[in-house]
Amino acid sequence: MSLDLDLDYATTLLAAVLLGVGFVLQQYAAEQEPESRFLRLRILTDLLRKPRWLLGIGCMVAGYLLAAWSIDHLELTLVEPLLTTYLIWALVLAVPLSGQSVKLTEVIGAVILIIGVGLLSLSRSITPIGLDIGSFSHWYAAAIIAGVAFVAVMIGHRRTGQVRATLTGLAAGLVFGIQDALTRQTLTGLQGNSWTVLFTTWSVYALIGAGIVGIWLMQNAFSAAPLHASLPAIAAGEPLAGIALGILVFGDRIQITPGLLAIEVCGIAALIIGVIAVARSSAFSGLRKITDVITPGSHGTDAHPPVNGTPRDSSAARKFSRPAHQRRLHDSASGGDGR
């Protein structure tokens, strides 16, 4: 039993590594999308042509497949806090990409995040889950969470910049929490049945839909502002939704003794503080500077410094960058008027 539990923990942490790497790579590509494509399907069709984004999606899918294994063997209220450690791995990758150094506050935030996960793990049952509820009648909670996500997106649509990224990221995180619960429902339905039962199970289609919507919302959040604006909301929204559905839909046990309740409260507080401290790292905001440099067309008119506050005309700049004898030939060919 102990060996199986260690394997479940290791699998969950490996899933967190892949998720962290995948999110950074996706944001690295998505932030180049223009603001006019916010909440449009065009943003996904554009990103499908970017190898870096596809690699990020591959890492994320692999991470969620491993997370599905964990969800099938552990309670959602334990898996969700463990998955939030992807922020630490995202920071590890963002630091060399952005060229920023790690600050002491970010290290302290990572330590607090790990402590929060540890406290929540100690307060949870460490035995595999037993009877699942998970019937369709218990999924009203998911509808409420989806409604909150919809409201967040609508409010974010009327805003710009970091507010838009935060609200859209929160919506994406809530949808991913619903996706985690649907994963558990699907895997529970497979126990003792052939895989062909998937074609007749409602949760499979809902799982696919939630995954597509979550990815779409996340790319919109990534494109709206630097990663530090959206990642805290994603990282907080997913475990909150997943833990809530684990309790309300599947009947995950809650320890209510005074000592364990105090541990759980401290663990949740540490988790939130650590998420915010790590996700607001300058390394995440520094990724925007890199994408600004490599954005196609950045060497056009913007490449020439403005004169008296007015951008230089690129054609004029090219003309006066020619050697003198080429300019004379160009002027004579155009009638001597210098055009």
User: 221: which residues sit within 8 A by CB, 6+ positions away?
Assistant: 164, 165, 166, 168, 169, 171, 172, 229, 230, 233, 234
* Residue 104 pLDDT > 80: yes
Percent of the chain at pLDDT > 70 equals: 76
Q: What is the mean pLDDT of the chain?
A: 76
Phi-psi category of residue 192: left, alpha or beta, with phi > 0 → left and psi -120 to 50 → alpha: left
pLDDT of the residue at 201: 82
Per-residue pLDDT tens digits for 35-55: 777 888 888 888 888 898 899
Label residues 70-104 b or e (16+ Cβ within 10 Å = b): bbbbbbbbbbbbbbbbbbbbbbbbbbeebebeeee
Closest among 322, 314, 312 to 333, alpha carbons compared: 322
The vertex-298 CA angle with 296 and 304, nearest 5°, equals 155
- How does residue 226 score in pLDDT terms, banded at 50, 70 and 90? confident
pLDDT of the residue at 232: 80
Q: Enter the pTM of the model.
A: 0.70
pLDDT of the residue at 168: 94
Q: Could you give the CA distance from residue 184 to residue 151 in angstroms, rounded to a whole number?
A: 26
pLDDT of the residue at 328: 47
Rounded to an integer, the average pLDDT of 132-150 is 80
pLDDT: which is higher, 269 or 321: 269
pLDDT of the residue at 339: 44
Per-residue pLDDT tens digits for 160-208: 888 899 999 999 999 999 998 888 888 877 777 777 777 788 888 999 9
Per-residue pLDDT tens digits for 272-314: 888 778 877 777 766 655 544 444 444 444 344 444 444 444 4
- How does residue 102 score in pLDDT terms, banded at 50, 70 and 90? confident
